[in-house]
Structure 1
Amino acid sequence: MIGNIIYGETCQGTLNYVLGKGGMRILGYGNTFSQDITPKFFGSVLHFQGQRNATKNRYAHISLNLPHGEHLDDATFFKISKEYMDSMGYGEQPYVVVRHTDTKHEHVHIVTTNVKEDGKVLSIFNSYRRNIAAHQALERKYGLSPSPSTKQERELPLYRLPELKLDVDNTQGTRFYIQDVLNTILQKYKVRSFEELARLVRPYHIEIKQTKSKSGRIGVAYGLNNQQGYRTRFINGSKVHRQLSGPKLQKMFDIHSRSKQLPMHRKRLLKQIETTYNLFKTIKPHDLEEVLRKYQNIDIKLDTKGDTIEGYTIFDKSRYVFRERELSKDIRMLNRMDIFGNDDVPTTIDIENKQFKLEVHKLLKEAFRTSYIKSQKQEGLYSDYIARINPKKVSTHLLESKSFLFLHRYVPKDQKEYLKRVFANAYPKVRDELYIRETKKEEETLKNKFRLIGKVLEKQVFNVGTKGGSVRHLFQSLGVRYHDNEILFADSNKHSLPAHIGKLDFPNSMEDYVSKASVRENHLVLEMLTEENLENRKKPTATAIFLPMVFPRLFERMNNNHKQQFDTIALEAYVKYAERVHAPFEKSPKDYVAFFNAKGFYFEKGEKGFRVKSIYTNHSASYTLSKRTGRYLDSIPNLALVLQEQDKVMNGLVEDGRDNLKNLWAGYLTEKGLYNSVAYMFTKENIDPNLHKEIVQHHLENGLQKAIREAITKKSTIEHNRVLRKSAATLSSLLDNRDENIEEAYNGFKDELTDWKKRKKRGRGLSF
């Protein structure tokens, strides 16, 4: 199901179109004193209420559209429409739901007003995201086909395109169809001219022409022409929608054309296309779309006129659209007849050229990296791994890679075996080059870690010292150790730096296992805490908030000033991550608050706006939300009550013993889809995720429940019944958000990277 929303200043034309369509059926009204009122009376009510405010977005025209082949009866469609309006914040507004039967898609139109009875305006902030979340929730509830969740994936709404020469003067139907197509096009692409816009809408039978008034003002007009006898008069752009007028569009085009990123995108695309041309000996013109998509992840469409290919258009991931000749005349198909000139010859890679050899080296390096990342435990340095890895493992990852399969497809049949020999012959050289490069990088990395330790100690980020072995926790958190007046990597003796610190005591206990991911994140955080200029520094990710769980003995020694700074940094990173994750479920600003509350985060409103805090950090630490998000939360009708009810949720988490980072970590793993790890935590350690019950239910239905059942079956017969009872209680508590908690020792990242042992093998050559 796809929902479209269009805002406008008037409603009469919209009602005339929606209620005047042949075969239409009124399914019902919302928030009217009776269902037996006439359409004319409802129009008067809607107009009267909308005129209580001077906003230009007085009225809303919403359409809910099912995909081809799906059917809903009138009662169910009206029920879904009511639930959608409640989710979007229109639950107390007057509205009408009208079903049209003039297209292959089953769809309804809903007309309402954004103006409330008291004259205030409903907040339409985040309406696109709320719209997506609302209809996705309804899809899950009623078993409808899922719809795309991003603008780029969304298909254009062709369902209202007239197919017959009827209602030629129906300018309202034309206007709404043009609105839908143009709005989607302008959301999907960064258009830079009227000519480009005309090319993009041509497949949807929309014609565009520029106009000029007597005063010299440039405008635009739109019309429909399906080349099959249906053609409408041209409609002025401002009458279609004020945002689609000539001056408004020209302003948008100028912004896109002046972007500083535009030359960079052109240069990148040109290099990618030239690299592709250099790799191939011949390319059949009609194969170019697939070649560029699979090799460079570039989406193009051939420009044809009859049976003649005149060139191609590039739809870049940056949302810009380019013609091939715009990038360079040297990549035009007409100027590269050496590659495209013979359509009878199959598309073939030139295995003798330089680009092919570079590609071989690149794929081997990727295979080394992939095998290292996917190894059961990243034991030792990468250079050590390169030196000892069995070539068969590299071969396995190489043969499974999409890039190798791409090369294999376009190599001539009589040269398939030669392709494998090329990789086998290149293996020793690539391994040695990679080993030397990684060794140099590791030497520099160790120096950087040593310098960072000096800054941390100088600025007294942690209250550590040489006595009691506490400084060793700092070394461990950065993946290094101190031994015999030298600094070394924690898992290798290969590199060392002199460091005359003196004798250090060993602490009573150290973290048993620390993942490389947590070491990298901690390094990034400590750099931010010790650097004054942070403009070019990479910002931490959401996992930064879990560092006190991974390195508890170190972070409990962090001094107060830096602790508050760290909490702010971690809060910001996690909030930005959570906003993205919540988007598919967030139907209203109340959902925004509820989803964060369930995770242990709460909001306070002050003079400078809304601040978010958490039960995992010091009470004084907070992160201030943007003004835009603040306006979003301000739109909650009973905001004071919603903020007051947060105390009940926070107290419930504390009473249940879920004010621990391990519960938030369980929720984080759930959102990442790492269900096997979460199932282990449920069944073995009795750890519940801090997540909203709606989100938990979604993950249970999408694999979490299955993973938990599989984890239960792996238990021994002796403890099977005990675990089964525990798991059943856990599953029940997920939807109630309350459960008795059993405190157990927890090793933060152990479930992510299990401490397995593996054999160390060495090999001398690559075999297939």
Structure 2
Amino acid sequence: MIGKIIYGETCKGTLNYVFGKEGMQVLGYGNTFSQSISPKFFGNVLHFQGQRNATKNRYAHISLNLPHGEHLDDDTFLKISREYMDKMGYGEQPYVVVRHTDTEHEHVHIVTTIVKEDGKVLGIYNSHKRSMATRRHLEKKYGLSPAPSTKQRRQLPIYRLPELQFGMDAEKGTKYYMQDVLNGINQKYKVRSFEEFARLVKPYRIELRTTTNEMGRIGVAYGLNNQKGYRTRFINGSTVHRGLSGPKLQKVFDTNSRSKLLPMHRKRLLKQIKTTYDLFQTIHPNDLEEVVKEYQDIDIKLDKKREVIEGFTIYDRSGYVFRARELSKNIRMQNRKDIFGKGNEPTKIDTESKQFQLEIQKTIKGALTTSYLKSPKQEGLLSEHIMTRNFGDIVPSLLASEKHNFLERYIPKNQRTEFRKSVENAFPMVRERLYELETKKEKEILENKFKLIVNILEKRIFNVGTEQGSVRLLFQSLGVKYNDNQLSFSESNKHAILVKLGHLPFPKEMEKYVSTGFVRQNHLVLQILSEQSSENSPKLTASAFFLPMIFPKLYEKMNPIYKKQYESVALSSYVKNAERLHAPFEKSAKDYIALFNAKGFYFVKGEKGFEVKSIYTDNRTSCPLPKRTSQYLSSMPDLTATLKEQQPVINNLVEEARDNLENLWAGHLLERGIYDKATFMLTAENIQPNLHREIVHHHMDNGLRQCLVQVSQRQSSFQQNRFLRKGVYAISSLLGNSDRKTEEMYNGFKDEFTDFTKFKRKDKGMGLPW
């Protein structure tokens, strides 16, 4: 199910559209004194309540859409609509639910106002996130097909034209359809002119007319022509939407045209198109879209007029749209007969071209790197790996390469044997060049690590020294080692820097294994603390928050001043990541707080807004929330009570000894879908993940339950029961279950394990600043 919300300043046109559709059906009203009122009466009620506040977005138009082929009866659809309104916070507002049958998929329209009876306005912060979470909740409850979870390009309603109704005016379906399409086009593309705008909306049967008065002011009007006998009169742009008037659009177009990045995008695209032409001997015009997309990842569309190809248009990832002639005359199909010929020759790569040889080299480089990254044991550096590989070693990676498959597809069959020989012959030269390049990079990286270590020691970020050998902890956390007055990479002795520190004793215990990913994050953190980072440096990820878990002995020796800085920066990076992961479950500002509370984070309100703290950091460490997020939380009517409700949740985590980063890490693995590693922690290490029960529900259904069973089945009979108990006890305890019968656990991890009401603990204070 897909939910869509549009806010507006007026409701008359929306209501006329919703009630004016042929075959429409009013399923019910919300918060009206009767279900037998007329649409006109409801419109008056909604209008007058909305006018009690001057906010521009005083009315809300919501549509709930089912996938093609899915059906709901009227009563169920009304019930779902009412639950949606309750979850979104509109449950006490007047609203109407109307069912339409004008599209291939079943859908309802809901019209309401965000203005309350007392004239105050409901908080509409994060409407998209709350709608997504509410939709997901309803999908699961009513067994509906879920909407795609991945971010996709917005599909405009090409087939959602208004019906063939003559005399339809601007206040009915035409206006809403135009508003939807035109605003969608402006959000999707960086339009630079009315001419370009007209081309982009033409597939949606919308026509533009522009006028210029004596003062040079541009006006625009829109008309609809579905080429099936239905044509509307032209409607003034400001009538369609306040942002679609001529002057406002011209301002947007001028801004897009003056962008300093525009010449860079042109230059990049021109180079990519020319590179494509250099690779091919001939290109069949109809293959150009596929070739450019696969080779350069550029979206183009052929411009056709009566089946005759006149050129092509580029839809760049930057949002700009370019016609071929805008970039250069030399890439126009009419001017490149050497490539496109008469339009009837098959697409063939020029195996004699310089670009073809470059592509072979790129393919070999990619295979060498891939074979290193995917090797079971990454022993040594990349440069060392490269020089130990023979051509046969990289053949599996080569054959799996998309670039290799692309080249082979467009090489004539009688030349494919020569192509394979060319790849093999080029291998020694490419390997040598890549070896030299990587060797140079590795030397620079080691030198930078040495400079960073010097800076860290001078600033005394860590209380480490040479007498006890604790400086080795710092070396290890940065992926280097010290031996015989030389600093080198932990996994290799190939490169070394002379550092005379004398004999350093080994500490009694060192961390056994250091992940390269955590080493990179630690390097970035220390660059920030030593002020060696720049705006172009890679950004911290959520993993930075777990560094004290990976390098406990080192972070125990951290200077308190720098530790506070680190905790604040790491806390910020984790919160940003968690907000994205919470989006599918966050139905309200109260959910925002509850999802973080379950992980061990809590919120306090200060003079400048909200701050977030955690049970894993010093109580004085905090991270300020953005202004808009603070406003979002402040919009809760029961804010004070909600903040107080945090204390029992946080206290329980501390009392149960779940205030360790390992518990948070187990939950983090689940959220990332790494169920195999998370299952090991749940069973072998008996660690409970700090996660909200609703998120645990989701992961249990999404594969965690099956992974737990598989782990148990790999053990002996005795071990099987023991591992199974541990895994289910961890989940069961987390979700508040006290019934630990082995038979029930084994028979599929029933929903009873996820009932919070079966297990309650007494709350005890922990002295936090509530």
TM class by shorter chain equals over 0.9
Distance 2:438 2:123 in 1: 54
CA displacement at 1:726 relative to structure 2: 1.8
Q: Is the 8 A contact 1:528 1:537 kept in 2?
A: no
Match of 1:406 in 2: 406
2:18 corresponds to which letter in structure 1? Answer: V
Distance 1:105 1:676 in 2: 39
CA displacement at 1:110 relative to structure 2: 0.6
Which range is displaced more, 103-112 or 470-479? 103-112
Distance 1:262 1:426 in 2: 38
2:379 corresponds to which letter in structure 1? Answer: E
| Superposed CA offset, 1:532-552 (max 9, x none) | 674343332221111111100
Question: Are positions 1:258 and 2:251 aligned together?
Answer: no
Q: Is the 8 A contact 1:50 1:58 kept in 2?
A: yes
Which range is displaced more, 553-562 or 378-387? 378-387
Question: Are positions 1:71 and 2:71 aligned together?
Answer: yes
Q: Is the 8 A contact 1:598 1:690 kept in 2?
A: yes
Distance 1:191 1:601 in 2: 43
Question: Are positions 1:554 and 2:515 aligned together?
Answer: no
1:627 corresponds to which letter in structure 2? Answer: K
CA displacement at 1:569 relative to structure 2: 1.2
1:365 corresponds to which letter in structure 2? Answer: K
Match of 2:345 in 1: 345
Q: Is the 8 A contact 2:168 2:174 kept in 1?
A: no
Match of 1:431 in 2: 431
Distance 1:426 1:302 in 2: 36
| Superposed CA offset, 1:243-290 (max 9, x none) | 222222222222322223222222222222111111111111110111
What is the 5 A alignment of 1:186-585? 186-212=186-212, 216-389=216-389, 391-531=391-531, 534-585=534-585
The secondary structure found in structure 1 opposite 2:610 is: strand
Question: Are positions 1:157 and 2:161 aligned together?
Answer: no
1:463 to 1:268, Cα distance in 2 relative to 1, 3 A: same
Question: Are positions 1:727 and 2:727 aligned together?
Answer: yes
| Aligned Cα root-mean-square deviation (Å) | 2.1
2:302 corresponds to which letter in structure 1? Answer: L
2:251 corresponds to which letter in structure 1? Answer: K
1:554 to 1:3, Cα distance in 2 relative to 1, 3 A: same
1:588 corresponds to which letter in structure 2? Answer: S
Which range is displaced more, 501-510 or 694-703? 694-703
Aligned length: 740
Match of 1:633 in 2: 633
| Superposed CA offset, 1:310-339 (max 9, x none) | 111112222222212222222111111111
Match of 1:757 in 2: none
2:611 corresponds to which letter in structure 1? Answer: R
Match of 1:756 in 2: none
Match of 1:748 in 2: none
Distance 2:33 2:7 in 1: 25
CA displacement at 1:382 relative to structure 2: 1.2
Question: Are positions 1:132 and 2:132 aligned together?
Answer: yes
| Superposed CA offset, 1:417-461 (max 9, x none) | 111111111111111111111112111211111111111100000
Q: Is the 8 A contact 1:50 1:115 kept in 2?
A: yes
Match of 1:743 in 2: none
1:325 to 1:143, Cα distance in 2 relative to 1, 3 A: farther
Q: Is the 8 A contact 1:104 1:159 kept in 2?
A: no
Distance 2:700 2:89 in 1: 28
| Superposed CA offset, 1:444-498 (max 9, x none) | 2111111111111000000011122211101111111111111121121111111
1:261 to 1:297, Cα distance in 2 relative to 1, 3 A: same
CA displacement at 1:171 relative to structure 2: 4.0
Q: Is the 8 A contact 1:693 1:737 kept in 2?
A: no
Distance 1:149 1:157 in 2: 20
Match of 2:110 in 1: 110
Q: Is the 8 A contact 2:16 2:171 kept in 1?
A: no
| Superposed CA offset, 1:3-60 (max 9, x none) | 2322222223322332233322111112234333333332232222212111121111
Q: Is the 8 A contact 1:66 1:106 kept in 2?
A: yes
Q: Is the 8 A contact 2:599 2:690 kept in 1?
A: yes
Q: Is the 8 A contact 1:13 1:172 kept in 2?
A: yes
The secondary structure found in structure 2 opposite 1:468 is: coil
1:264 corresponds to which letter in structure 2? Answer: M
Match of 1:689 in 2: 689
Distance 1:735 1:321 in 2: 51
Which range is displaced more, 332-341 or 282-291? 332-341
Match of 1:753 in 2: none
1:101 to 1:228, Cα distance in 2 relative to 1, 3 A: same
The secondary structure found in structure 1 opposite 2:409 is: helix
Match of 2:704 in 1: 704
CA displacement at 1:512 relative to structure 2: 0.5
CA displacement at 1:148 relative to structure 2: 4.1
Distance 1:371 1:701 in 2: 35
Question: Are positions 1:85 and 2:85 aligned together?
Answer: yes
Q: Is the 8 A contact 1:301 1:312 kept in 2?
A: yes
1:411 corresponds to which letter in structure 2? Answer: I
Distance 2:128 2:270 in 1: 34
The secondary structure found in structure 1 opposite 2:55 is: coil
2:496 corresponds to which letter in structure 1? Answer: S
Q: Which has the higher contact order (CA 8 A, sep 6+)?
A: 1
Q: Is the 8 A contact 1:456 1:462 kept in 2?
A: yes
Q: Is the 8 A contact 2:676 2:707 kept in 1?
A: yes
Distance 1:641 1:286 in 2: 64
Match of 1:99 in 2: 99
2:123 corresponds to which letter in structure 1? Answer: S
Unaligned runs of 5+ in 2: 741-770
Distance 2:141 2:186 in 1: 31
| Superposed CA offset, 1:611-661 (max 9, x none) | 111111111111112212222222222122222212222112222222111
Q: Is the 8 A contact 1:521 1:540 kept in 2?
A: yes
Q: Is the 8 A contact 1:470 1:507 kept in 2?
A: yes
Identical columns (%): 65
2:273 corresponds to which letter in structure 1? Answer: I
Match of 2:768 in 1: none
The secondary structure found in structure 1 opposite 2:468 is: helix
| Superposed CA offset, 1:96-148 (max 9, x none) | 10112233221111110010122111222322333333334333433333334
Distance 1:20 1:612 in 2: 49
Distance 2:658 2:436 in 1: 48
1:735 to 1:37, Cα distance in 2 relative to 1, 3 A: farther
CA displacement at 1:515 relative to structure 2: 1.4
1:658 to 1:605, Cα distance in 2 relative to 1, 3 A: same
1:212 to 1:343, Cα distance in 2 relative to 1, 3 A: closer
1:695 corresponds to which letter in structure 2? Answer: I
2:121 corresponds to which letter in structure 1? Answer: V
1:85 to 1:214, Cα distance in 2 relative to 1, 3 A: farther
Which range is displaced more, 357-366 or 242-251? 242-251
Match of 1:669 in 2: 669
CA displacement at 1:514 relative to structure 2: 0.7
Match of 2:611 in 1: 611
Match of 1:755 in 2: none
CA displacement at 1:170 relative to structure 2: 6.5
CA displacement at 1:369 relative to structure 2: 1.2
The secondary structure found in structure 1 opposite 2:613 is: strand
CA displacement at 1:360 relative to structure 2: 0.8
2:727 corresponds to which letter in structure 1? Answer: S
Q: Is the 8 A contact 2:712 2:719 kept in 1?
A: no
Distance 1:163 1:280 in 2: 48
